[in-house]
Structure 1
């Protein structure tokens, strides 16, 4: 299952770079011109290429440049209900935060008053393969795939008050 938007990512591969702003590395996985994974390893694999235009954009974002990454082509390979949740999370604007219930309300087919549907939202956030591009750090009341110290730093960079 994929979700596509504008800007392709070129080569297939693993790319990564260390960032002092979050005291971690960011590693990207791309395939067929789409972003398929974002992670925050403590150390980069030896085969990670440090040169990629999205890594440059992430550097600028971490330096305070507003970027919602909405134009990045992605392939979200999670179950359909979770993909719908992540597509909703992707629309949360830079510098804003929402709660778990609002994400459920924003996601077609989910009922924000049903615990089973809120569980789907929580599971989707934890399974998010594309942190930063799918900004789970902007969702209150639930842990995302972004490690909490990194998520807190991303919220600080965006001017989002602590949760």
Structure 2
């Protein structure tokens, strides 16, 4: 048997601040999903350096998570939007219109493009790492109470 990339796995840790778990899936060296379930997957592990970082972030430590490699398995048009959202700095927020302007090939004057941005935000497979909570008037891929708490962490 040959040694391949790092093992795939599911990692989860309870957050007292969020009153639920932070869970992510990793395949190789890429995070492919982030969620905030009431209960973690039964085969998840709570030992991962990214969980340590997320815990510190939720306790007020600034972290952009820009060095975390994500594996986006979304259509190209959504990927382009989500890559633009990832550029919104910690402690800042933007509107759907501003994200549309930031996204190559989209126009904030086109309703279809604004809708495309909202759809990409709602489909975000890795919220927090791609901080859709920083888009103040758009949908988030996390439950509203989690979105509010993530915004509060960053003073938004």
Instruction: With the length of structure 2 as denominator, give the TM-score of the two structures.
Output: 0.95
Aligned to 2:8: 12
Q: Report the Cα offset of residue 141 of structure 1.
A: 1.4
CA distance in 2, matches of 1:119, 1:98: 16
Aligned to 1:23: 19
Q: Report the Cα offset of residue 10 of structure 1.
A: 4.4
Q: Report the Cα offset of residue 140 of structure 1.
A: 1.5
Q: SS state of the match for residue 29, structure 1?
A: strand
Aligned length: 152
Aligned to 2:143: 147
Q: Which runs of 4+ in 1 moved over 4 A?
A: none
Aligned to 2:67: 71
Cα RMSD after superposing both structures: 1.1
1:132 corresponds, among 128, 140, 148, to 128
CA distance in 1, matches of 2:142, 2:7: 25
Q: SS state of the match for residue 131, structure 1?
A: coil
Q: Which sections of structure 2, spanning at least 5 residues, go unmatched?
A: none
Q: Which sections of structure 1, spanning at least 5 residues, go unmatched?
A: 1-8
CA distance in 1, matches of 2:58, 2:17: 6
Aligned to 1:93: 89
Aligned to 1:42: 38
CA distance in 1, matches of 2:52, 2:79: 26
Q: Which deviations, in whole Å up to 9, do the C-alpha atoms of 1:119-139 show, x marking residues without a partner?
A: 110000000000100000000
Instruction: With the length of structure 1 as denominator, give the TM-score of the two structures.
Output: 0.91
Residues 11, 56 of structure 1: alpha-carbon distance in 2 compared, 3 angstrom cutoff: farther
Radius of gyration: which is bigger? Answer: 2
Q: Report the Cα offset of residue 156 of structure 1.
A: 0.7
